[in-house]
Amino acid sequence: MKLYIKYMVSLRCKMVVKEALKKIGIQNAVLDLGMVETIEDLTEQQREDLHHLLLKFGLELMDDKKAMLIEKIKNIIIEMVHYTDEIPKINYSDYISEKLGLEYTHISKIFSEVKGITIEHFIISHKIERVKELLLYNELNLTQISYLMNYSSVAHLSKQFKKVTGLTPSFFKKLRHKKRIALENI
């Protein structure tokens, strides 16, 4: 049985879900960002208990098909931007379409209707948050970051960074109060 969980966007969330599943008596489950697959079906009582346990941690079980698709799209993007060593060099629309096995125009239309922004803007927001994180770590220079994040040039990265944050990457790096946005709030 597949269950889809809203806001399950980090390894910590996966740990919370795993513990919640144990509490309701489900031991064997495969967890991925936004999705859990169990061998056995959940009873109505187990489903209700899981729903309440997840709500305590800001997570939600989903039933709506559109909401599930949106979460899948978001999780693919989050995994691609935040949890891979290097962003794929292929077109994002092809990457997402291939991962979901659906036409990109269909995916894009539903995402825009529900979220009120395009997938492209969602990706850009996440890429900028990842750039902020890399700048704060201070392990890579801007050229290395632009290559890692699949920007065509440092100038392109800088322009997009300034457009989203209002700051240049170098000014952001110098700030004492460096504010990043939590993944679930992007």
Query: What is the domain-level CATH number for residue 165?
Result: 1.10.10.60
Shared-domain flag, residues 9 and 85? no
Give percent above pLDDT 70 in the chain. 97
Across 75-79, 135-139, 161-165, least confident range: 135-139
Q: 180 and 129 share a domain? A: yes
Which structural domain range is residue 15 located in?
2-62
* Composition of the chain by helix, strand, coil, percent to 5: 60, 10, 30
**177: confidence class by pLDDT, cuts 50, 70, 90:** low
Residue 84, both tokens = 């891979």
* Distances, alpha carbon 22 to alpha carbons 1, 34, 38, 82, 136, in Å: 16, 18, 12, 28, 37
How many angstroms separate the CA atoms of 151 and 159, rounded?
A: 11
The total number of structural domains that make up the chain: 2
Question: Domain check: are 159 and 102 in the same one?
Answer: yes
Distance set, CA 80 to CA 40, 137, 170 (Å): 30, 19, 25
pLDDT at 105 over 90: yes
Contacts of 24 (CB under 8 A, 6+ apart): 42, 46, 49, 50, 53
Are 117 and 25 part of one and the same domain? no
- Whether residue 182 has pLDDT greater than 90: no
Could you tell me if 152 and 166 lie in one domain? Answer: yes
The pair of three-digit structure tokens given for residue 27, joined into one six-digit string: 């031991």
In DSSP terms, 60 is beta-bridged to 6
Mean pLDDT of 59-84: 88
The predicted pLDDT at position 186 comes to 73
Q: Answer yes or no: is pLDDT of 63 > 90.
A: no
50 and 95 both lie in a single domain: no
Q: Give the pLDDT band of residue 176 (cuts 50, 70, 90).
A: low
Residues 114, 58 share a domain: no
Q: Of residues 2 and 123, which shows the higher confidence score?
A: 123
| Average pLDDT over every residue of 34-42 | 88
Instruction: Judge whether residue 98 has pLDDT over 90.
Output: yes
**Within this chain, do residues 69 and 58 fall inside the same structural domain, yes or no?**
no
Retrieve residue 176's tokens.
């004492």
Last residue in a domain, options 12, 40, 62: 62
Q: Are residues 73 and 128 in the same domain?
A: yes
pLDDT at 181: 75
How far is 184 from 130, CA to CA, in rounded Å?
13
Do 100 and 165 lie in a common domain?
A: yes
Nearest 5°: phi and psi at 61? Answer: -75, 140
**Residues 101 and 166 both lie in one domain:** yes
Has residue 35 got a pLDDT over 90? Answer: no
One domain for residues 36 and 86: no
The whole-number average pLDDT for the span 163-175 is 90
pLDDT of 87 above 70: yes
* Higher-scoring residue by pLDDT: 144, 177: 144
